[in-house]
Structure 1
């Protein structure tokens, strides 16, 4: 019997304050060098900043931002008869959510400034309003998939 656990056995945990799985997913993506308490502090400070700026529930803003950034399509490279094609494929919802969180954090890290919680809060607010670099990344991905729509019939062939 194999000792390795499968991904299906893992259950996402809740964060201690909001009791939300999505918050825990974001914290785990912020995490660098194993400093989880710092990641929690960054996210909670940014959610507090969102609450001050917008007077809305910060979890709703976070959920809206991730929903707006989540892509539906992406392109994958496929080698078919010696040529490499960019084939558009649909993304499963969980994979799309992971990509959205990754893009949000990446674009917030690229923002100017020193404090990560400021940068993250402004990026989340921009994404909730459908602005910002993460939204631009999603639109760019969808444009790539749309322009390569002619190769969509290669999706399931020659794997």
Structure 2
């Protein structure tokens, strides 16, 4: 792997229905073999089911809350001190939390 340049982050476009970048990123994770329409049907169908079950909640807001609950806040990194290697807890960067 070349260490010359950092990889550029590509900007994703917001999804057409909710205009949300994180929903689009999740759709891209669900997408299999380039079938984005199928992934959209799966995600939007799940949001529709969520909207039917919880009428007073917005499905995208519930999705964001669920993502915040599952994303890690601390990870362990190896730190070499003398001849021993210690696992040191380090706070996770915000862009890595959603990766």
TM-score (norm 2): 0.80
Aligned mates of 1:36, 1:81 — CA distance in 2 = 51
Q: Relative contact order (alpha carbons < 8 A, sep ≥ 6): 1 or 2 greater?
A: 1
Deviation of 1:32 (Å) = 2.1
Higher strand content, 1 or 2: 2
Q: What is aligned with 1:87?
A: 88
Q: Call closer, same or farther: CA 1:33–1:77 in 2, change over 3 Å.
A: farther
Correspondence 1:66-85 to 2 at 5 A: 66-85=67-86
Task: Say which SS state the counterpart of residue 68 (structure 2) adopts.
Answer: helix
- Between the two proteins, the alignment pairs up a number of residues equal to 94
1:7 counterpart SS class: coil
Query: 2:25, 2:83 → 1: CA distance?
Result: 40
Unaligned 5+ segments in structure 1 are: 99-159
In the TM superposition, residue 58 of structure 1 has moved relative to its aligned partner by: 0.3
Cα separation, 2, equivalents of 1:77 and 1:39: 37
Q: What's the CA shift for 1:85?
A: 2.3
Distance 1:5 1:89 in 2: 22
Alignment partner of 1:46 is 2:53: no
Please state how far the C-alpha of 1:63 moved relative to its aligned partner: 0.9
Q: Is the helix fraction higher in 1 or 2?
A: 1
Superposition CA RMSD, Å: 2.1
Per the normalisation by structure 1, the TM-score is 0.52
